[in-house]
Amino acid sequence: MKAIFLDRDGTIIHDGGYLYKPTEIKYFSDTFDVLKKLQNLGYALFMVTNQSGVAKKMFCEADIIKVYNKIQSDLKAQGIKPFVEMAYCPHGPEDDCACRKPKSKMIDDLVAKWKIDKKNSVMVGDKLIDAECGKNAGIHGVVLGQDSKDYPSVKNLTEFYEWLKKHLG
Ligand SMILES: [Zn+2]
């Protein structure tokens, strides 16, 4: 299957700065609409997120799951299929782990597990490391909300959807 891997903070929801309380989740105005349209194009959706707040002891892994579960139930309430799976890296930059974006292990593992069609799949996020992670995983990488000379860039999720329809369909 083909898949869209989405970063969480600054991409699916506003970047709350080490957000860990489900009550503080704020979606972008087009989040639900675009996620639904991506699914209608036949893409499976995955969340791929660096959560170094765990390494910094600002919150724990259970908090990441709580936020994810809240997002999943919000999607269902909107009549949208939930994410297939979330992958998160709880480490910090100095841990030199294999999973922290821009390294590609989180995507590599999901690709292997779900037999993802890499040629038709994309990693999208608001940081350059998101697009770089996509490239490192051998899929497409798109940057959202900032310009890039190295990767396709779009203003927001709605523009990402337009980019996708035009380049992959
Ligand atoms: Zn890690």
pLDDT per position as a tens digit, 73-104: 999 999 999 999 999 999 999 999 999 999 99
Tens digits of per-residue pLDDT, 32-46? 999 999 999 999 999
Answer yes or no: is pLDDT of 169 > 90. no
Supply the mean pLDDT for the chain.
97
The answer to whether 126 is a known catalytic residue is: no
Whole-number Å distance, alpha carbon 118 to ligand 1 midpoint, is 22
Q: Which domain holds residue 80?
A: 3-167
DSSP 99: S
Q: Which residues have C-beta under 5 Å from ligand 1, the single-atom ion?
A: 89, 91, 97, 99-100
Whole-number Å distance, alpha carbon 120 to ligand 1 midpoint, is 26
Task: Write down the pTM of the prediction.
Answer: 0.97
Whole-number Å distance, alpha carbon 48 to ligand 1 midpoint, is 11
The one-letter code for the residue type at 14 is H
Structural domains of the chain, count: 1
The CATH number linked to 138 is: 3.40.50.1000
Answer yes or no: is pLDDT of 130 > 80. yes
Nearest residue to 71 via CA among 38, 102, 106, 46 = 46
The answer to whether 7 is a known catalytic residue is: yes
pLDDT band for 71, please (50, 70, 90 cuts): very high
